[in-house]
Amino acid sequence: MFIRVLYFGSLRETLGRAGDVGTLPEGIRVIDAWHWFNPEKSLPENTLCAINQEYVKADATLCAGDELAFFPPVTGG
């Protein structure tokens, strides 16, 4: 299934890219998608995850066409 991934803030800078796209196995979880696209790197502590612009836990399951995002704690205001 096709998944689009976005990275923001210091995580984007550390990874050196703003996102990934790829075809992943059906029923894959958020944490699995992280390792799929970042095989050499564990998910940094405190990283927040969102599917289709809603916060989710790292064990949430992805569906085809989802927009997945990883980012550090938010610092607006």
Partner 1 sequence: MIELKSSPFDPYQTLLACQEGLHQSGLRFGATCSFVGTLRDFSEGESVVDMFLEHYPGMTEKFLARIEAEARHRWALVDALVIHRVGRIGRDEAIVLVAVWSSHRGDAFDACRYMMEALKARAPFWKRETLTGGHHRWVSGNTNGYPAHPGFDCPDTPT
- Return residues touching partner 1 (CB under 8 A): 6, 8-10, 13, 46, 48, 50, 53-55, 69, 71-77
CB of 41 or CB of 57, closer to partner 1: 57
Query: Which residues on adjacent β-strands are paired with residue 48?
Result: 71
Pairing of strands 67-71, 54-56: unpaired
Pairing of strands 48-51, 19-23: unpaired
Q: How far is the CB of 25 from partner 1 (least distance, A)?
A: 26
Q: How far is the CB of 10 from partner 1 (least distance, A)?
A: 4
For 63, the token pair is 């569906």
